[in-house]
Amino acid sequence: MSWVRALARPDIVGLKVYEHAAWRPELERLHANELPWSPLGGDAADGLNRYPEPQPRSLIHRLAALYGVAPESVLVGRGSDEAIDLICRAFCRAGHDGVLVCPPTFGMYAVSARIQGAQVLEAPLRSAHGFALDEAAVLERCAPSTKVVFLCSPNNPTGNLLDESAMRRIARSLAGRSLVVVDEAYIEFADRASLAGAVREQPNLAVLRTLSKAHGLAGARCGALLADPEVIALLRKIIPPYAVARLTLDAALAALEPTALEATHARLATLRQERARMLRELPRLAGVERVWPSDANFALAEFADAGAALARAAAAGLLVRDARSYPGLARAVRISIGTPRQNSRLLDAWS
């Protein structure tokens, strides 16, 4: 038996999949109970009477080329959040299996696991060492029932990259035992190559990418899982049949055109400059006790009085993220890097 079939929930491996309406664009569609006319809502609605292609090949190929993996290694869905959910559901038997997370980190891993009835184990990042990955703790705490390890690099909310060789070693040590998922939602903002290329040589390593952050498409809901083709095939069995809406497909393809990608690179350069400015200016403000380095598009700052900082930002018409509920971050605020003007307004509000 392959490692994927051995690791996944047996009932999912054996699941008979829903047969969605066949995708035969060369034929006229009288097979999916759609209305034969476009909806009444202007040109933008043209063609929306039709169910979309389930895993749109055009987008899969674009994303595969962008991320440097084979098309068979790409699953596209409603943001990387959907992939996180599908992974928990496909691999964790409720009440038996679990996932491991490294707090303080993105909350969706634990939420998706708990919705599935999976146990959530923790190997906290080492705050005294810049929130570095605790490789030994991850390996030590992984139980035989730990099916998935979620690592986030750059990590949300702390902003730091995790050590690449440590992540690779963790995946190697857990080969055949756990799927190691590296969430790279913010990798485009870092000076570091993606781990996507490692998926082929290390099949239990998977990478999450998204169009929500660097490509400015959070509202479209489009993200991708890059993984071993057998993992992708398993998740395709359980992803809802029409996960990529037509409007999303159009927006994603447009954002991945060469000219759009060039403009994205220019924006990323501006954003990095602004991040450098914020990381330089924030620590100079009275009341700011610490600003953590960041490889992402946000900064994590600790205040003498975080409540007051949140209130002053709001009074200036700016919403920043209260990060005080994260373990070990009792006085922290997470600040998304905005336009130069927005950043200046925030600095003014706190001066």
Ligand X SMILES: *Cc1c(COP(=O)(O)O)cnc(C)c1O
Binding site for ligand X (CB under 6 A): 79-81, 106, 152, 156, 183, 185, 210, 212-213, 218, 223
DSSP secondary structure letters along 3-18: HHHHHS-HHHHTPPPP
Of 56 and 349, nearer to ligand X (C-beta) is 56
Give the pairing of strands 179-183 and 146-152.
parallel
Of 190 and 349, nearer to ligand X (C-beta) is 190
CB of 209 to ligand X, least distance (A): 8
- Burial of 19: CB neighbours in 10 Å, binned 0-12, 13-18, 19+: exposed
Of 335 and 349, nearer to ligand X (C-beta) is 335
CB of 309 to ligand X, least distance (A): 21
Q: What three-state secondary structure class fits 110?
A: helix
d(CA 39, CA 41): 6
Of 287 and 338, nearer to ligand X (C-beta) is 338
CB of 21 to ligand X, least distance (A): 26
Q: 340: cis peptide before it, omega within 30°?
A: no
Of 73 and 212, nearer to ligand X (C-beta) is 212
Residue with CB nearest ligand X? 79
Of 252 and 349, nearer to ligand X (C-beta) is 252
The residues, ordered by sequence, that sit 6+ positions from 260 with a Cβ below 8 Å of its Cβ are: 254
CB of 76 to ligand X, least distance (A): 11
Closest CA to 225 of 81, 108, 109: 81
CB of 47 to ligand X, least distance (A): 25
Do the beta carbons of residue 88 and residue 112 sit within 8 Å? yes
Sign of CA dihedral 77, 81, 87, 90: negative
CB of 63 to ligand X, least distance (A): 12
